[in-house]
Amino acid sequence: MVTQQRASQLAGAMSDIPAPIYQRVKQAIISQIRTGAWQPHQRIPSGSELVNELGVSRMTINRALRELTSEGFLLRIQVVGTFVAEIKAYAAMLEVRNIAE
């Protein structure tokens, strides 16, 4: 029941901007993560649930989830499910040894 509610929130987060559907799905999922609706380590709705709720193809959902996993937003565990990844701190390191160089 909770999973269906989260999927419904996702459908509301999908924008109508002209973009490929998989990108709109990705942006909706990222929005849920950034607003805190989906917390780190929380299981997200299954691919089948997302297909039913959003009315898009399984291939579209798989592409969005695959790209979000490679970008570090999600963690997919085979047979277990897909989870929101823990946000990792990122700091760019710059070292200047000699200003003349």
**Residue 19: predicted pLDDT:** 85
Q: Would you call 63 exposed, middle or buried from its count of C-beta atoms within 10 A (0-12, 13-18, 19+)?
A: middle
Number of domains in the chain: 1
**Residue 77: predicted pLDDT:** 93
Measured over all CA atoms, what is the biggest interatomic distance in the chain, rounded to whole angstroms?
A: 63
**Residue 94 forms part of a structural domain:** no
**Residue 38: predicted pLDDT:** 94
**Residue 29 forms part of a structural domain:** yes
**Pair 34, 28: CB distance under 8 Å:** no
**Residue 18: predicted pLDDT:** 81
The residue ranges of the chain whose pLDDT is under 70 are 1-9, 12-15, 89-96, 98-101
**Residue 32: predicted pLDDT:** 93
**Residue 97 forms part of a structural domain:** no
**Residue 101: predicted pLDDT:** 58
